[in-house]
Each structure stands twice: as C-alpha cells, then as structure tokens.
Amino acid sequence: NAGVTQTPKFQVLKTGQSMTLQCAQDMNHEYMSWYRQDPGMGLRLIHYSVGAGITDQGEVPNGYNVSRSTTEDFPLRLLSAAPSQTSVYFCASSYSDSSYEQYFGPGTRLTVT
C-alpha cells in the first residue's frame, strides 16, 4: 500500500494563477480531508469529504474548491492564488469519519509570490 500520496511536493505560483493539488489514497477510506499548516497555527481544516460525491467546508474554505468523484482521489483546487495561501498543505484519509485515525500524506509546500 502506498497510503496517502500527494503531488507535487513543492510548487511556486504567481498571484492569480490557478492550480490543483492532487491527493490519492489506496486504503479504500471513505473520509478524506485537506488541511493547511501555518507557523503557530497548527493544522486547519479546509474541506473534507465523507464519501464519493459528498464534500463539505471546514474552518478555512475560502479560495479553495474540492470534488470527490472517486473514493481514491480528492483534489484541491486553488482558483486564483493569493500570497495568503502560501502554506504547507496536507491531505489525510480515514476509514469512516474523523473519529478514526487519520493517515496523512507527506504534504505540498506552496509558495505564492
């Protein structure tokens, strides 16, 4: 099992550009989520999904879109990047919901200039 994979590992964007952060898991987990990690702020939930076709907003959803067309994939889209979105992004998955152990990907470090 590869677990949770994320691509790319690093990305630099200019303000206003768009991009998609990829996340995939091979554990047949129903629950998937995206967090951003900023110094001194811990991890904050952006969006989550409890199954294919179902997504919902977390604590900091503005500027991000998600979709869940398959159980395995949960991409995060930045529609128009802003410097405030400079962060490290983590994707995570768990068996059923957030009460179960979450498995984290290695992260994507995004810089917006």
Partner 1 sequence: AQSVTQPDIHITVSEGASLELRCNYSYGATPYLFWYVQSPGQGLQLLLKYFSGDTLVQGIKGFEAEFKRSQSSFNLRKPSVHWSDAAEYFCAGTGANNLFFGTGTRLTVIP
Alpha-carbon distance values, 11 to 17, 70, 109 (Å): 12, 25, 6
Q: Does 105 bind partner 1 (CB under 8 A)?
A: yes
Nearest-approach distance from CB 57 to partner 1, in angstroms: 10
Q: Does 41 bind partner 1 (CB under 8 A)?
A: yes
Nearest-approach distance from CB 44 to partner 1, in angstroms: 7
Contact with partner 1 (CB under 8 A) among 24, 64, 90, 93: 90
Beta bridge partners of 31: 94
Q: Does 56 bind partner 1 (CB under 8 A)?
A: yes
Give the amino acid at 57: Q
Contact with partner 1 (CB under 8 A) among 50, 61, 67, 75: 50
Contact 90, 104 (CB under 8 A): yes
- Does the CA dihedral 68-72-74-75 come out positive or negative? negative
